[in-house]
């Protein structure tokens, strides 16, 4: 999920967890009983929620170390449920210093914990994967039903915050918006179930012994999906809309929602493309397998969900590039997370990243 939506979700949750917003005196607020510490002004609670829900994405600093460090560490310890109490306590302490309310450290810490948790949940529902048990485990968990930027989900959050601004003494708008969020995730789960069923039906009709059946959420609609059937050698891939009965057309003058949604066909008109994992065979396929099995390429085997050879380049050096099909969809101008290995002559293989703008860069 995008960082802005994360931040707003934390603000929304903090508002829902705050009091009525009545203008009690500061002295009364300081001495009010409560197992989570004394109440704090709503604006402070919202500020803590906004900041804490942004905090997990601080792992962007790993980009300054290397692309490999970011790939291995993104959605790691800062997104871990095991580390959450530590981060919450630290952010609570910082808030108590910033607001000069050491007596409210527990309150700030609980607000920070809730806001970090909603960030983790917001990433868990996407398909990128979140290392919930870091640093004890690097296994990625993900519900995989929500696209990384979901305008409806973000709209619900914004509507809840606007309602809270219009009714500053009521928690109802924030609570109502929070209640709608899991309902919307439920809608996306219906779309995922339907996409997986389309893939299973395709495999059954064509008598494919599928090693894996999968689906990746796509933009513009919870019913836009890319369905995958992997038979051990080839991916069978189709872009489908699970609820559409007729094809959708779009021109350059149409809005971006229609343009992004048009490539997804009704299930009965689905067009399936066959993509060999290691290419079409021969020497290039042998090179692709060699790189795929190389010990130094283990990071990509760990990361990729639907890995596919992207290109085999020959020249002064030989390079084999891979991509992950979950990040490839119609209308996307560039592909992230393309990695490979290169060697000069008969020398050893070295790891590289392939960027659409910067080109080839060594991985350390």
* pLDDT beyond 60 at 16: yes
161 to each of 14, 93, 117, 309, how far by Cα in Å? 11, 26, 19, 45
* Average pLDDT rounded to a whole number, residues 37-50: 95
pLDDT band, very low/low/confident/very high, at 22 (cuts 50, 70, 90): very low
What is the pLDDT at residue 21?
54
pLDDT band, very low/low/confident/very high, at 19 (cuts 50, 70, 90): confident
Question: What's the CA gap between 295 and 92, in Å, rounded?
Answer: 43
* pLDDT beyond 60 at 345: yes
pLDDT, the chain, mean: 92
pLDDT band, very low/low/confident/very high, at 336 (cuts 50, 70, 90): confident
Residue 238 near residue 271 (C-beta atoms within 8 A):
yes
What is the b/e burial string over 274-297, where b = at least 16 CB atoms within 10 angstroms of the residue's CB? ebebbbeeeebbebbeebbebeeb
In sequence order, the 6+-apart residues with CB closer than 8 A to the CB of 8 are 50, 53, 154, 157, 158, 161
Question: What's the CA gap between 73 and 340, in Å, rounded?
Answer: 19
- For residue 76, the 8-state DSSP code is S
pLDDT band, very low/low/confident/very high, at 24 (cuts 50, 70, 90): very low
End-to-end CA distance of the chain: 27
Closest CA to 326 of 262, 220, 239: 239
- For residue 135, the 8-state DSSP code is T
Phi (first) and psi of residue 131, to 5 degrees: -80, 80
- For helices 3-17 and 172-205, angle between their N-to-C axes, nearest 10 degrees: 130
Residue 341 near residue 319 (C-beta atoms within 8 A):
yes
* pLDDT beyond 70 at 131: yes
pTM: 0.91
pLDDT tens by residue, 63-101: 888 888 999 999 999 999 999 999 999 999 999 999 999
Task: Please identify which residue in the block is written with the tokens 């004890």.
Answer: 136
Task: Output Rg (C-alpha) for the chain, integer angstroms.
Answer: 24
* pLDDT beyond 90 at 157: yes
* pLDDT beyond 50 at 204: yes
In sequence order, the 6+-apart residues with CB closer than 8 A to the CB of 188 are 125, 145, 146, 150, 217, 222
What is the pLDDT at residue 25?
42
* pLDDT beyond 80 at 364: no
Q: What percentage of the chain reaches a pLDDT higher than 90?
A: 81
Residue 211 near residue 314 (C-beta atoms within 8 A):
no
Question: What's the CA gap between 91 and 89, in Å, rounded?
Answer: 6
What is the b/e burial string over 24-58, where b = at least 16 CB atoms within 10 angstroms of the residue's CB? eeeeebeeeeeeebbbbbbebbbbbbbbbbbbbbe
In sequence order, the 6+-apart residues with CB closer than 8 A to the CB of 113 are 52, 84, 85, 88
CA atoms within 13 A on the CB side of 19: 16
């Amino acid at each position: 999920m995008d960082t802005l939506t994360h931040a707003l979700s934390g603000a929304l949750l903090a508002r829902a967890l705050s009091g009525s917003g009545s203008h009690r005196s500061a002295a009364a607020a300081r001495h009010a009983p409560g197992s989570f510490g004394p109440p704090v002004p709503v604006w402070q609670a919202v500020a803590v929620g906004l900041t804490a829900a942004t905090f997990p994405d601080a792992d962007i600093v790993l980009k300054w170390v290397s692309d490999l460090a970011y790939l291995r560490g993104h959605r790691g310890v800062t997104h871990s449920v095991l580390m959450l109490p530590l981060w919450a306590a630290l952010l609570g302490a910082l808030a108590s210093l910033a607001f000069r309310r050491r007596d409210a450290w527990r309150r700030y810490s609980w607000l920070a914990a809730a806001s970090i948790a909603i960030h983790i949940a917001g990433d868990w529902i996407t398909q990128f994967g979140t290392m919930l048990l870091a640093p004890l485990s690097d296994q990625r968990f993900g519900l995989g039903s929500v696209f990384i930027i979901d305008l409806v989900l973000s709209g619900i959050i914004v509507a809840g915050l606007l309602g809270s601004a219009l009714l500053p003494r009521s928690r109802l708008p924030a609570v109502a918006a929070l209640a709608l969020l899991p309902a919307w995730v439920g809608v996306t789960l219906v779309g995922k179930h339907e996409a997986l069923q389309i893939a299973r039906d395709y495999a059954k009709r064509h008598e494919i012994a599928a090693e894996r059946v999968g689906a990746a959420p796509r933009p513009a609609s919870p019913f836009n999906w890319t369905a995958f059937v992997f038979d051990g050698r080839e991916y069978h891939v189709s872009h489908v809309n699970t609820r559409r009965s007729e094809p959708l057309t779009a021109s350059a003058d149409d809005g971006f929602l229609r343009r992004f949604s048009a490539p997804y066909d009704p299930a009965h008109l689905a067009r399936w493309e066959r993509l060999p994992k290691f290419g079409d065979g021969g020497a290039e396929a042998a090179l692709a397998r060699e790189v795929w099995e190389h010990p130094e390429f283990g990071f990509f085997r760990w990361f990729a969900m639907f890995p596919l050879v992207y290109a085999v380049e020959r020249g002064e050096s030989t390079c084999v590039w891979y991509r992950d099909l979950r990040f490839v969809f119609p209308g996307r101008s560039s592909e992230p997370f393309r990695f490979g290995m290169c060697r000069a002559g008969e020398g050893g293989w070295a790891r590289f990243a392939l960027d659409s703008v910067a080109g080839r860069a060594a991985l350390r």
